[in-house]
Structure 1
């Protein structure tokens, strides 16, 4: 089973925010972190181990305008999909939100199932776009271009399977993923593929990402499987 994807919900209406968080969690696809103000949202985004795959952002918040906040975090380099919520759905409001960097715009009241469907659609687009960049140790991981870019700007090429392994482990950051789960997710239910195939790919991947492959800090073997620590130095 794929890991729940972390979503930041920024909404000052306590009842609506809680209802959103509950519904998002019940989907089994996402897990949510909540913020009632832009200041609180900034603290979440600036945390050392912050990792959000998407943001649900209200337009009118007690300490500022959601559109301005959207434009600000885009300038800071945050590229994840942002879906804005608003009580006004006039064309000018929608255009302003999209111009600020939002990927989608939903007017209140809305159906939560529709919101989740739109989230999933935006994430599918994002995961396969050039904008998808994930930090793993000293590397910028760019799945679309099948590459890792180091601090020295050197590009390391990855195979398609290495990309799939890294993406899946990243979604389960710091949690152990069993060998069988990786085989099922990366290769599908292919009876001809064995754990030896997986171990060979992991070995080659470590040669590319570890400073010392004999003393792994990023991609580690754990009881029954593997664990990725993207924040390791």
Structure 2
């Protein structure tokens, strides 16, 4: 089972915000963090450990227009999906939201199942786009390009499709160890002809590529009968 994906809810209506957070968490596919204003959202996004896979953004915030905040996110280079929530569903309002960089637009009141479906759809698109970039130690990881870029050394590390999928799944686990069999099933599918030895071979090769000292692993470690990624580790 994939790790729940963190969603930031930016909404000034406390009751709606709490309901959304509760329902997202109950769904099992997501975890929720909350902000009541653009300023609070910006502070959360600026935190060193912040990782949000998508943002639910109200158009009417107490300190500004959500569309302006969305445009600022894009100017700052933040590419995660943004779904705007609003009581305005006139065509010109929808166009303004999309022009500001929003990926989708849903009018209140909305059905929760529809909102969840839209979030999942946008995440699927994003995960396979060139915009998806994750930080793993000294690397920028671009899954779509199957590449790690080590900017400090101007070095590119090419990955195979399986290596890229292993890294992406472990990253999504949020620092928790993933048992070998689960990782095998997620990357290779339920194929009885593929054994954990295949996974171990790929992990070995991946470590040779990304660890300065593969005998003393710091980024991709063995733990709890499986493997764990330490994306914040300094591999230097």
Q: TM-score, normalised by structure 2?
A: 0.96
Gaps of 5+ in 2: none
CA distance in structure 2 between the aligned counterparts of 1:229 and 1:56, rounded to whole angstroms: 27
Q: Does the C-alpha gap of structure 1 residues 75 and 153 become closer, same or farther in structure 2, counting only changes over 3 Å?
A: farther
Q: How far did residue 159 of structure 1 move?
A: 0.5
Query: Does residue 207 in structure 1 map to residue 205 in structure 2?
Result: no
The ranges of structure 1 where at least 4 consecutive aligned residues each deviate by more than 2 angstroms after the TM superposition are: none
> Which residue is 2:88 aligned to?
88
Q: Does the C-alpha gap of structure 1 residues 224 and 213 become closer, same or farther in structure 2, counting only changes over 3 Å?
A: same
CA distance in structure 1 between the aligned counterparts of 2:19 and 2:174, rounded to whole angstroms: 27
Gaps of 5+ in 1: none
- Residues 50-102 of structure 1: CA distance to partner in whole angstroms, max 9, x if unpaired? 11100000011111111111111111111000000111111111111111110
Query: Does residue 231 in structure 1 map to residue 216 in structure 2?
Result: no
> Which residue is 1:156 aligned to?
157
Q: How far did residue 27 of structure 1 move?
A: 1.3
Q: How far did residue 198 of structure 1 move?
A: 0.7
> Which residue is 2:139 aligned to?
139
> Which residue is 1:45 aligned to?
45
Equivalent positions of 1:49-60 (< 5 A) are 49-60=49-60
* Number of equivalenced pairs: 233
> Which residue is 1:179 aligned to?
180
> Which residue is 2:168 aligned to?
167
CA distance in structure 1 between the aligned counterparts of 2:50 and 2:211, rounded to whole angstroms: 22
Q: TM-score, normalised by structure 1?
A: 0.98
> Which residue is 2:13 aligned to?
13
RMSD: 0.9
- Residues 102-158 of structure 1: CA distance to partner in whole angstroms, max 9, x if unpaired? 000111111111000000000111111111111111111111111111113422110
> Which residue is 1:25 aligned to?
25
> Which residue is 1:79 aligned to?
79
- Residues 146-179 of structure 1: CA distance to partner in whole angstroms, max 9, x if unpaired? 1111113422110111011001100012101111
